[in-house]
Amino acid sequence: MSGPGNLGPEAALTAAVVAALRAAPAVAVLVAQRVHADPPRRPTYPCVIVSRQESRPFGPDADGLEHLVTLTCASKFGGPEEARAVTAAVRAALHNAAPPVEGRRLVTLRVTYADVFRAADRELSLGVLRVRAVTEAM
């Protein structure tokens, strides 16, 4: 349960993922600090955005949660190379990582899916990653 000053489980996990990516040297070289929990109105490219998050009860106790987080890596480089590089850096930074999650114990964090493709406008290249995390109450 969250109280004043505490984040809920989903927001706490999102904050941990964003902080881990901003601290990862390979990600920072490519996108600087442009890792966003919410999409900016006018993004500067390349960037990484937490685009979706689901959570559901997990395990024998009601205090465990399975989180499925979708991250979008966006690039206007003129081809998919930059989106591929950002996607690879994000995958390396998060797969089996253990960032601290406020008010929760992180059991596991794994990248389960990655795809890179050109957007319909042919200007934007996108990398989509799905991350599965399990957290428990402390």
Domain residue spans in the chain? 9-137
pLDDT given for residue 2 in this prediction: 43
Decide: 46 and 77 in contact? Cβ < 8 Å.
yes
Burial (CB count within 10 angstroms: exposed 0-12, middle 13-18, buried 19+), residue 67: buried
pLDDT given for residue 13 in this prediction: 98
State which CATH number among 3.40.250.10, 3.40.50.300, 3.30.70.1700, 3.40.1170.10 fits the domain covering 9-137: 3.30.70.1700
What is residue 62's three-state secondary structure?
A: coil
Distance CA 86, CA 51 (A): 16
Beta strand pairing status for 64-75 and 104-118?
unpaired
Question: Which tokens go with 110?
Answer: 């794994």
pLDDT given for residue 122 in this prediction: 86
- In which residue ranges of the chain is pLDDT below 70? 1-5
